[in-house]
């Protein structure tokens, strides 16, 4: 008889292949470099990540006490401009059953006003079975699957994937996936955002690159969703005061949606790879990435929660940790362009200034969007107050007893 054991899993992390056209920041910063040095400058694209696959493979061989992990899922960025699986990653995944090749998909969706806007990204993992690759079988996604995804799930009039279609695609093909930091990094309205989150099976509530305010909201929203699935009702006064919350609860119950499972992701781009991990309880002596995906897909979310198969370890990011990442990445890019800068020393300061300005603008834009959303939440969708106003349903205890306890 096998006894249960557990391993740490990194389920959201990037490598040096998550750059160039795959990065939403590349066009702005590379454009600045070309303007400063000239259009013909043989400068390489700006990199948002320098992590090598060898560094991540090394984590699989380290004891947990020294920072090791049992499973690592690479989730490099992909979008309509760049969605090819690098040969080096295919080779590494074929050699290491604990290493899986997933992706973080840039998506768009229609907002409540009918406008197509940037939507939460999707961490696509794959199936429980290995797929064929040029270097042998491996766990994760295949190029054929990506090609099919981009052929069938693009949003109308766009080169980008349609979030709603991607979620349906994953459900139809039984693919393990999670929404990536869905409170941050998109332009959808509050109403559209909570609707997408409530349709997902796994939602990244703790992300190592985003702040505690995002984590607090997402955890509370998952509690609200799961209470509604369990039959809880909003008190009449709360429903009248916050119609957006009442409408969400009603849709969840009318459409018989499943529970949502909270998820955690490192999202490391430079260091501290295991800043946020998922503790995976399993029976296998040496679990591989396929075992992780199988556990995500096995049965209902209620059954997974009841078995406590996954727990999140680690804390969300802070303003200082995000700044630390940015400084490291800027410094590495400048060092990489050392030869070019030595020929043009007078441009060192302008390049550094422009790069930092662009990154600061991006971070500031995120912060402003977050603050705007938090203000709207306080008025139209105060999730903590909504959770407190729910009258518990008996069905939740049958679905997952510990969820009922935590929600209460």
pLDDT of residue 178: 98
**pTM for this one?**
0.89
Mean pLDDT for the stretch of residues 190-208:
97
Write down the mean pLDDT value for the chain: 86
CB-based contacts of 361: which residues, under 8 Å, 6+ apart?
none
Please choose, from the candidates 116, 97, 108, 158, the residue with its C-alpha nearest in 3D space to the C-alpha of residue 288.
97
pLDDT of residue 42: 47
CB-based contacts of 74: which residues, under 8 Å, 6+ apart?
13, 14, 15, 53, 56, 89, 93, 99, 100, 101, 102, 140
For tokens 């400063």, the residue is 36
Angle CA(258)–CA(261)–CA(263) in degrees, nearest 5? Answer: 155
Domain with 280, as residue range(s), is 5-407
Our measurement of the distance from residue 90's CA atom to the centroid of its chain's CA atoms, rounded to an integer in Å, reads 21
pLDDT of residue 406: 47
Percent of the chain with pLDDT over 90: 67
Count of structural domains within the chain? 1
Tokens describing residue 148: 């099919």
Residue 17 pLDDT more than 80?
A: yes
pLDDT of residue 43: 52
Please choose, from the candidates 371, 367, 353, 360, the residue with its C-alpha nearest in 3D space to the C-alpha of residue 325.
360
pLDDT of residue 355: 62
Q: What is the DSSP string of 273-323?
A: TTSEEEEEEES-SS--HHHHHHHHHSS-HHHHHHHT-EEEEE----HHHHH
Distance CA 221, CA 298 (A): 24
Q: What is the pLDDT of residues 285-322, one digit of tens each?
A: 889 999 999 999 998 999 999 999 999 999 998 766 66
Distance CA 387, CA 376 (A): 17
Give the CATH number of the domain where residue 269 resides.
3.20.20.140
Residues in the chain: 408
């Amino acid at each position: 008889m096998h006894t249960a054991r557990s391993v740490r899993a990194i389920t959201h992390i990037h490598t040096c292949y998550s750059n160039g056209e795959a990065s939403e920041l590349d066009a702005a910063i590379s454009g600045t470099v070309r303007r400063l040095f000239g259009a013909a400058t043989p400068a390489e694209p700006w990199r948002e990540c320098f992590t090598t696959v060898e560094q991540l493979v090394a984590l699989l061989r380290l004891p947990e006490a020294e920072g090791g992990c049992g499973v690592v899922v690479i989730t490099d960025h992909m979008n309509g401009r760049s969605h090819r699986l690098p040969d080096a990653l295919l080779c590494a995944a074929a050699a290491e059953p604990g290493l899986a090749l997933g992706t973080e998909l840039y998506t768009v969706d229609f907002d409540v006003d009918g406008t197509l806007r940037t939507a939460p990204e999707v961490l696509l993992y794959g199936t429980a079975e290995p797929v064929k690759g040029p270097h042998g079988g491996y766990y994760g996604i295949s190029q054929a699957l990506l090609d099919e995804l981009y052929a069938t799930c693009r949003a109308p009039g766009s080169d980008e994937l349609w979030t709603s279609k991607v979620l349906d695609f994953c459900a139809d093909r039984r693919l393990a996936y999670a929404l990536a930091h869905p409170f941050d990094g998109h332009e959808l309205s509050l109403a559209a955002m909570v609707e997408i989150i409530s349709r997902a099976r796994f939602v990244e509530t703790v992300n190592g690159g985003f702040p505690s305010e995002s984590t607090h909201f997402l955890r509370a929203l998952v509690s609200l969703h799961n209470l509604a699935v369990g039959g809880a009702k909003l008190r009449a006064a709360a429903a009248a005061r916050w119609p957006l919350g009442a409408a969400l609860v009603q849709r969840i119950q009318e459409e018989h949606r499943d529970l949502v499972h909270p998820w955690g992701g490192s999202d490391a781009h430079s260091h501290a790879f295991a800043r946020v991990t998922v503790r995976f309880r399993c029976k296998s002596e040496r679990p591989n990435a396929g075992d992780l995906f199988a556990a995500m897909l096995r049965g209902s979310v209620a059954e997974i929660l009841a078995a406590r198969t996954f727990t999140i370890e680690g804390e969300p990011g802070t303003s200082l940790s995000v700044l630390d990442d940015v400084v490291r990445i800027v410094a590495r890019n400048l060092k990489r362009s050392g030869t070019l800068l030595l020929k043009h020393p007078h441009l060192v300061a302008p390049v550094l200034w422009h790069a930092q300005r662009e990154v600061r603008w991006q971070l500031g834009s995120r912060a402003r969007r977050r603050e705007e959303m938090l203000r709207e939440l306080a008025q139209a969708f105060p999730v903590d107050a909504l959770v407190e106003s729910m009258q518990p349903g008996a069905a939740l205890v049958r679905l997952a007893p510990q969820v009922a306890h935590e929600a209460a």
